Amino acid sequence: MASLSVKPGQRFTLPDWRNNSILISADAEQQRFNSHHIRQEGRALRNETGNQARWDEHNSRTRISDRITVVDRWREALAKCLTDIDLEIDALTKVKEAAENALQAKNLCLDVAIECLTFRESRRDIDVVRDPVEEELLREVKVIEKTKKELQQRVDDAFKQLCLLKEARQQLRCDHKHKVEALEFDRQCLTFNPTSGNISFKVNATRIPDGSTELSEWELISQRNKERAEAEMKASVDLRGTITLSIAQVNCSL
């Protein structure tokens, strides 16, 4: 005759069994709802993040493009200024050489006048007189020495102005070189996109490097370099006019 080897446990009623099934089903339904809600939030966040990323990329590309335009405009302005200052340096150099030639010519005239005075000193006795010829020679020596002094001053002024022009040109050339390098980097950045190769994660990529220049200061530096070069060129043009006039006056007195 068969017998139970294990004593039966607690018995539940059918309503308890149904309630338990209902609770399990309700909990599963709630978990499913929560999962669906999380998936919806994730999808919305993904879409929002993707849209924001695309907009940020577009905004960055627009800013880089605008930046390239600004830098290129400065590059062109500095390049033109470099060309102008090179022409002015060449023009002032030629005028300086002309003044040196005029000065050299005056040296010959002075030597002749002094030689004449020296010969006249060889006269003897009563013939050693202060006559109109000697007075004219002395006046000529005085005029030539004054002219030489003025010409030498013009040559010295031209030399100093050439030094200033070359210093301004050096600043322009350095600034222009930096603009060309900046354009190369920015144009390279403009070619990058999320699918570009050889792109790696950079730690703290948005940091501002030490020694960086503020945008307003950056533009002010280039503006000052350009204005200084223009001021030196204007001074050089005025000086060339003065030297040319001096040379013309000297030639008339030869």
C-alpha separations of 66 from 56, 61, 178, 187, 206 in Å: 15, 9, 18, 11, 19
- Predicted local distance difference test score (pLDDT) of residue 138: 67
Q: Annotate 74-110 with b (16+ C-beta within 10 A) or e (fewer).
A: bbebbeebbeebeebbeebeebbebbeebbeebeebb
C-alpha separations of 192 from 45, 53, 181 in Å: 25, 14, 17
In a domain, 80, yes or no: yes
- Predicted local distance difference test score (pLDDT) of residue 8: 58
In a domain, 13, yes or no: no
- Predicted local distance difference test score (pLDDT) of residue 165: 97
Which amino acid type is present at position 140? E
Which amino acid type is present at position 166? K
In a domain, 36, yes or no: no
> In total, how many domains does the chain have?
1
- Predicted local distance difference test score (pLDDT) of residue 212: 78
In a domain, 128, yes or no: yes
In a domain, 171, yes or no: yes
What letter would DSSP give residue 127? G
In a domain, 114, yes or no: yes
pTM for the model stands at: 0.72
In a domain, 63, yes or no: no
| Per-residue pLDDT tens listing for the chain (254 residues) | 455 555 556 777 888 888 888 899 988 989 998 898 899 988 888 888 888 888 888 888 888 899 999 999 999 999 999 999 999 999 999 999 999 988 887 766 666 666 666 666 666 666 556 666 666 666 766 767 777 888 889 999 999 999 999 999 999 999 999 999 999 988 888 888 777 777 777 788 778 777 777 878 888 999 999 999 999 999 999 999 999 988 887 776 65
Query: Residues near 244 by Cβ (< 8 Å), separated by ≥ 6?
Result: 95, 98
Q: Which domain holds residue 239?
A: 73-191+215-252
Taking the alpha carbons at both ends of the chain, their separation in whole angstroms is 157
In a domain, 5, yes or no: no
Alpha-carbon gap, residue 105 to 99, rounded angstroms: 10
- Predicted local distance difference test score (pLDDT) of residue 177: 95
**Among the listed residues 240, 223, 238, 231, the one whose alpha carbon sits nearest the alpha carbon of residue 165:** 231
Alpha-carbon gap, residue 161 to 89, rounded angstroms: 9
Scanning 192-214, the segments in alpha helix (DSSP H) are none
